[in-house]
Amino acid sequence: MSRVDGTDFAALFLADTPMIDTRSPTEFAQGAFPHAVSLPLMDDEERAQVGLCYKQKGQAAAIALGHDLVHGNIKAARIQAWLDFAGRHPDGFLYCFRGGLRSQISQQWLSESGCDYPRIIGGYKAMRQFLLETLNQAADRRILVISGQTGCAKTRLLNAHPNGIDLEGMANHRGSAFGKRLGGQPCQIDFENALAVALLKHAHAMPQQPVLLEDESRLIGRIAVPEVIRGSMLRAPLAVVEMALEERVEHTFHNYILGNLADWQGCAGAEPGFGHFAAELRANLATLHRRLGGFRYAQLASQLDDALSSHHRGNPDPHRNWIRDLLRDYYDPMYAYQLGLKADRVVFRGSYAEVMDYLKNHLDMHTMQDKIGRRP
């Protein structure tokens, strides 16, 4: 029995529905959806030729040219890619930019190959608009911001709580000068779409519960937190995780040193991976040169070089020295100043375990506060 074409965008995103994106590769790279795969009807060059023909000669000529460009083995290969996807994901859908000719033609070719596969009415444009509206609506949800000094495991806490949404995970960046991760960052639209889907799922599963977000600046790497969400975060109450300096040194050491090196070596091999890891650490520290000042930067750069030399010989422990100094002398004073500006919004302070216990037993209190963390 054939399934009907899709119009319930909320249901599609809540179910993590697999989707075939039939737009060109460039369109896909500029923004797509979680669980969508690029299997284009036309590649970039073919689309450019058809678009030019459409402007010069009209729709009929453009359609004819499209069929001339995508025929024979090229057409067969693209249909086979769709058939393979449909076989793996019988619950999926396909879409193009507006739900028009490209998805209709793809659907027709699949049907002629014995596969009735539904498309999404309105295509990418309609789904993107739905997710933008979801972001706007989410600004009226309760938000509780998790704050704390650098290295106090805020992200781990968020991921351990069902109400948490990990902005840094979605941005593939830890948010600091040393926050780069392998694989690079998604484009801005992909980040916004992923965030909107996460907020949609939270609203569906826990409509009366606040969303937990980490205390982020406007930018996470090069990704901007949407202004409508950022505005709500700036009004929201804060729960502050407090952790001793040495504990934060250890957390930072294991995540930014041992963890990052393992990622690099897993990608590039032992020796090349260490080289990339060392170069990245030096480059990250260099971005703080102006803020640290020449003398302090030179001290930390020397400590880092010594630590890398020791690490290369098999002993990574000296990294703790420059990490400790950087946290204590740079990040901690900056955080203390920033927290002082929002001290009136702090509703709880405690250790990692105490904050987790607070979240377990007191979140309902925040659902009853009509003004905290909401738009005025």
Do 61 and 43 meet the contact criterion of CB atoms below 8 Å apart?
Answer: no
Classify burial at 308, counting beta carbons within 10 Å of its beta carbon; exposed 0-12, middle 13-18, buried 19 or more. Answer: buried
| pTM assigned to the model | 0.92
- What SS3 class is residue 64? helix
Residue 260: what pLDDT? 95
Q: Where are the domains of the chain?
A: 9-131, 139-376
Residue 365: what pLDDT? 56
Q: Report how far residue 60's alpha carbon sits from residue 66's, in angstroms, rounded to the nearest whole number.
A: 10
Q: Report how far residue 102's alpha carbon sits from residue 27's, in angstroms, rounded to the nearest whole number.
A: 13
Tell me if residue 267 is catalytic. no
The runs of H, that is alpha helices, within the chain are 9-14, 25-29, 44-57, 59-69, 72-88, 101-112, 123-138, 154-160, 167-171, 188-205, 227-235, 245-252, 260-268, 270-286, 289-292, 294-312, 319-326, 332-340, 352-367
* Start-to-end CA span in the chain (Å): 50
Residue 1: what pLDDT? 56
Q: Please, what are the averages of pLDDT over each run of 10 residues along the chain (376 residues)?
A: 86 98 97 97 95 92 92 96 97 95 94 95 97 91 93 94 95 91 95 97 92 94 95 94 97 96 95 96 96 95 98 97 96 94 93 93 58 38
Q: Report how far residue 210's alpha carbon sits from residue 354's, in angstroms, rounded to the nearest whole number.
A: 18
Do 21 and 32 meet the contact criterion of CB atoms below 8 Å apart?
Answer: yes
Give 8-32 pLDDT, tens digit per residue. Answer: 999 999 999 999 999 999 999 999 9
Set 96, 115, 152, 267: catalytic member: 96
Class for domain 9-131, per CATH?
Answer: alpha beta
Rg, Å, the chain Cα set: 25
